[in-house]
Amino acid sequence: MGQLIQQLINGLTLGAVYGLIALGYTMVYGIIGMINFAHGDIYMVAAIMAVTVLTLLGAAGITAVPLALLITLVVVILFTAIYGWSVERVAYRPLRNAPRLAPLISAIGMSIFLQNMVQLTQGARVKPIHALLPGGFELGTIDGFTVHLAYTQIMIIVVTVALLVLFTWLITRTSFGRQQRACEQDRTMTALLGINVDRTISYTFMLGAGLAAVAGVMVTVYYGVVDFSIGFVAGIKAFTAAVLGGIGSLPGAMLGGLIIGMIESFWSAYLSPEYKDVATFVLLILVLMFRPSGLLGRPEVEKV
């Protein structure tokens, strides 16, 4: 029983991180109808950047945890947003009117480029940082198993929920959100109404990258180690989460993330940690076979 509750907490945390990355996938998909395959690597870049910024802050003597975290978040979000903008500018915009496969390939190219760039400039070794937020609560001992809730886990869950609420509001209630949804439905008409479609798409990539940046910073703080290759697997898992929840749907991305986080942590605890990735990908295949529109995806019924 204690073990079960512990895995629920771990799964929730992991799921929140996947959900955050999945939000970025789903937002970009929502506006251009395409998967940004460089998104996972944007997240990796953010995680590496977090290590750098935290180390620099430590060297500069800024050790108060909330302040250091805040500065890191702001700096990493800003720089990662620039990466997001660049990916769109380089890999997507020149191919706006090309066949759909072309930007997918160029995005995969961006992904390979980012991984290699980080490996070359930062080295391939795993990068550790000091535990920034050690400790947590002991929730009690059940059946001889002590359940822990780490401060970092609380942070991740709270930040994720807050961002989900913020972005849902942004997309459904604001003028920018309407423009974004309009771009998705009819780009020409949106431009005819005076909206700068290219700029709206750029902003969306930057927002998606910003979400990946938050996920990257939090994972760095949570695990304390990152390297250049974490983007690939995390990216594919978050992609699975987005598809599972229904690509294009923000709550769906979060729900998908949570389900995958749960599957992973329970699989690792009760079956075998080596095969946890297999579980995720089997799920991806099943979803694509039996429910390609995902759990909360919209049914494609429209009057013309």
Partner 1 sequence: MSQTILQYHGVHAHYGAIHALRGVDLTVNQGEIVTLIGANGAGKSTLMMTLFGKPVASAGKIEYRGDDITRTPTHKISRQGLALVPEGRRIFARMTVLENLQMGGCFSDPQHHAADLQRIFGMFPILEQRLQQRAGTLSGGEQQMLAIGRALMSRPQLLLLDEPSLGLAPLYIKQVFRIIRELNERDGMTILLVEQNAHHALNVAHRGYVLQHGEIVLTGSGEELLASEEVRAAYLEGSSEAA
Quote the tokens at residue 203: 């902003």
The correct pick among 61, 194, 274, 289 for binding partner 1 (CB under 8 A) is 194
* Complex with partner 1: residue 143 or 302, whichever CB lies closer: 302
CA distance 193 to 201: 16
Region of 132-140, 172-180, 220-228, 233-241 interacting with partner 1 (CB under 8 A): 172-180
Check residue 204 for interaction with partner 1 (CB under 8 A). no
The correct pick among 108, 133, 191, 225 for binding partner 1 (CB under 8 A) is 191
* Complex with partner 1: residue 7 or 204, whichever CB lies closer: 204
Distance of CA 99 to the CA centre of its chain: 27
Check residue 299 for interaction with partner 1 (CB under 8 A). no
CA distance 151 to 128: 19
Region of 43-51, 82-90, 190-198, 259-267 interacting with partner 1 (CB under 8 A): 190-198
**Residues 280/260, Cβ–Cβ less than 8 Å:** yes
Least distance between partner 1 and beta carbon 100 (Å): 20
Distance of CA 121 to the CA centre of its chain: 23
The correct pick among 125, 175, 274, 290 for binding partner 1 (CB under 8 A) is 175
CA distance 173 to 105: 34
For 80, 298, 299, the CA distances from 73, given in Å and listed in that order, are 10, 33, 37
* Complex with partner 1: residue 146 or 174, whichever CB lies closer: 174
**Residues 208/36, Cβ–Cβ less than 8 Å:** yes
Check residue 144 for interaction with partner 1 (CB under 8 A). no
- Measuring CA to CA, which residue among 222, 261, 223, 216 is closest to residue 241? 261
Least distance between partner 1 and beta carbon 296 (Å): 15
> Phi/psi of residue 81, each to 5°?
-60, -35
Check residue 138 for interaction with partner 1 (CB under 8 A). no
Check residue 143 for interaction with partner 1 (CB under 8 A). no
Q: Which residues bind partner 1 (CB under 8 A)?
A: 175, 178-179, 181-182, 185-186, 188-197, 298, 302-303
